[in-house]
Structure 1
Amino acid sequence: MKITYILLLFTILSCAQSKNEFEIYTEFEQKAMLEFKDKEYEKALSNFQKAIDLKPTEDVTIYFYATASALNANELEKAKKLLIASIHNTNASKSYFLNFKEFDNFRNEKMFTEIEKDYEKHISVFYEKLEHPKIYREIDSLVEIDQKVRKNENERNKMAEVDSSNINRLIQITKEYGWQSRGWLILWHQRGTYGQDNYVWNFFKPYIDEQIRKGKMKKSFWTMFEEEKSIIESKEQIYGLYWGQFEQFPIKDIENVDKRRAENGLPPLWYMEKVYGVVL
């Protein structure tokens, strides 16, 4: 059965004759996740490592699953190197490190105590490697302000003002320094006007579309925005991104949903069920 799963996945993923780095990265990532779920830890480790080699600063979760694969394969030194690299390259949060469930059976290993003790030193290495650390920190401060007005009932009347200020600054930063992935939340809070003719989308839509065409950003970038817009307008999902809400928001034209997902760089729904336990 697991061979069938992998063949089905790569039949869908391999439609395009030429693939950019993000598409190849995604193939390695998804193949590795299937192997991890099948407890083929050495194979999973190999494919996670290939994904990391392609995009070493892309995703902390890939590092953590690679680490878990190494731990299960009894490659402790490799696991330690991957964990440290995850902090140096992705700024892996300490809370994620402490709560990642796939590490639970290995918490008594000395490496976890050592890394936790030196966590701030490892984080400092991440900031030393940044090309524009001030911009990185500024994006964090914009997100912090974004969350503050949403969590404090007494400040929610300032939400529109904060969102406007934040998005204007994000546009300026993007023009000068390129897209900052940590700014996604700021852009997400403009989703109510997604698709409209305004200064936000007149800048970001063509800019990000061009980055996707160049293979510098994932094809799936807009799927969440499109999904939200569809739910608001028709109470239907396009891609099935709202897990657990399939009855409330059914998937339209469900026979072709995996085709739509593949066209936008998403794995098929059966993959989501197998890997993440999504109830279909």
Structure 2
Amino acid sequence: MRITYILFLFTIISFAQSKNEFEIYNEFEQKAMLQFKDKEYEKALLNFQNAINLKPSENVTIYFYAVAAALNIGKLEKAKELIIASIHKTNASKSYFLNFEEFNNFRDQSMFAEIEKDYEKHISIFYKELEHPKIYREIDSLIKIDQKVRKNDSDRYKIMQIDSSNVKRLIEITKQYGWQSKGWLILWHQRGTYGQDNYVWNFFKPYINEQIQKGKIKKSFWTMFEEEQSIIKNKEQIYGLYFNYFDQYPIKDIEYVDKRRTENGLTPLWYMEKVYGVKLPTNYIKL
């Protein structure tokens, strides 16, 4: 009996070790979100906390749902601790904090006013704990330039100049400091040439793929790029990422869409319906 138990335990440990951190993180996150929707707040809080412990700087939304779970079971000190940690670790925006719907029934709690009052102090701690705060701020400045030119200038040539300048700088930063997640928008604006033989993709494709293999970047990183390319070329979706355009851009081989999604680090479409209220395509069948 003891030998059987040891073999079983070894199998479980080996299986867990075959997954990278992001895959384990995603499992905790998805389980927690389903439990939250089922109002199993104690269980949800535990799994949200497991995800946070694994990757503390990954996702502010996970923190906020963990806070909501704690609030629903009366763990006010835990809720306050998680809100503060979300600011220190993810730079949670003040507007998101003030408008997160799951907090609405609890905003009479004094912690919300206290945290709002000290918000800038908490943000300053986030910057103090960054390994490369100047680079973080530089990426922010590149994004501001990106958005400004799109808002104030319709000159396509000028937009292309800014995009080219930004992505060249992003390559330099990535070579020296590693991938900066906020740089995604800068890379996204190169999607028109995605996968082509040019200096952008000759650098980023192998680099990002290597980071995905190492578990440093999510497996789903390229799915939006692939989806956009498929829509432009074939007028159809691969993964069903454009939820409001299922009629205009149907999902190819929809019977396999959840298989494609899970293989590429995305949740099944039925999960998106349950957790986020996504309206599913009429021909979708949950397997």
Question: Which has the larger displacement, 166-175 or 144-153?
Answer: 144-153
The aligned amino acid for 1:170 is L
Instruction: Provide the rounded CA distance (Å) in 2 between the counterparts of 1:75 and 1:32.
Output: 17
Does the residue aligned with 1:86 lie in a helix, a strand or coil? helix
5+ long unaligned stretches in structure 2 = 1-14, 281-287
Shift of 1:269: 0.5
What is the 5 A alignment of 1:1-280?
18-153=18-153, 157-280=157-280
**Letter aligned with residue 228 of structure 1:** E
Bigger drift between 155-164 and 20-29 goes to: 155-164
SS at match of 2:243: coil
Q: Distance between the aligned counterparts of 1:130 and 1:212, measured in 2?
A: 22
SS of match in other structure, 1:39? coil
TM-score if structure 1 supplies the norm length?
0.93
Aligned residue for 1:251, secondary structure, equals: coil
Compute the displacement of 1:153 (Å): 3.2
Shift of 1:81: 0.1
From the CA coordinates, give the structure whose radius of gyration is larger: 2
**Structure 1 residue 155: Cα displacement:** 5.8
RMSD: 1.2
Q: State the distance in 2 between where 1:105 and 1:136 align.
A: 35
**2: distance between equivalents of 1:54 and 1:39?**
24
Aligned to 1:9: none
Q: Separation in 2 of the partners of 1:112 and 1:18?
A: 41
**Structure 1, unpaired ranges of 5+:** 1-14
Amino acid at match of 1:62: I
Post-superposition shift, 1:154?
Answer: 5.6
Q: Deviations over 1:80-115 (max 9, x none)?
A: 000000000000000000010110111110000000
Shift of 1:18: 1.5
| Cα displacement string for residues 184-232 of structure 1 (whole angstroms, at most 9, x for unaligned residues) | 0000000000011110000000000000000111000000000000000
- CA separation in 2, counterparts of 1:139 and 1:216? 19
